[in-house]
Amino acid sequence: MTPLTIESLPDPTDPQDVFAFVMSLNGYEDYGSLSASMRAAKERKRATLTDVRNELFASARASRHMQNDGYLSDYRELLPILRTLILSGT
């Protein structure tokens, strides 16, 4: 996987790009199962890029299921944390 850069973060006003970005990490694969991924997302650790991206992945999956765009507000909330983690190399 290509390392994330600040420039690779999508514009929060572009729903399609944001959705593509948050779905580019498959939490089920990274955590080993649906339940492990969802458990980790609910913990909201936010210590690593994987933590935050998994939280966004879970939000996007829920949004798809609920047929809404709730993942966009979660992305806007987590964007500063993503930037900080990218800059710190975490």
Residues above pLDDT 90, as percent of the chain: 94
Which stretches in the chain have pLDDT values below 50?
none
User: What six digits make up the tokens of 60?
Assistant: 């996007």
Query: Which pLDDT does position 1 carry in this prediction?
Result: 58
Strands (E), 1-90: none
**Which residue has 């990218």 as its token pair?**
86
Write down the pTM of the prediction: 0.92
Tell which residue, 16, 32, 28, has the closest CA to residue 75: 16
Structure confidence by residue, pLDDT tens digits, 25-43: 999 999 999 999 999 999 9
CB atoms within 10 A of CB 86: 17
Q: Domain-by-domain residue ranges, the chain?
A: 12-88
Please, what is the average pLDDT of the chain? 95
| Alpha-carbon span 27 to 88, nearest angstrom | 22
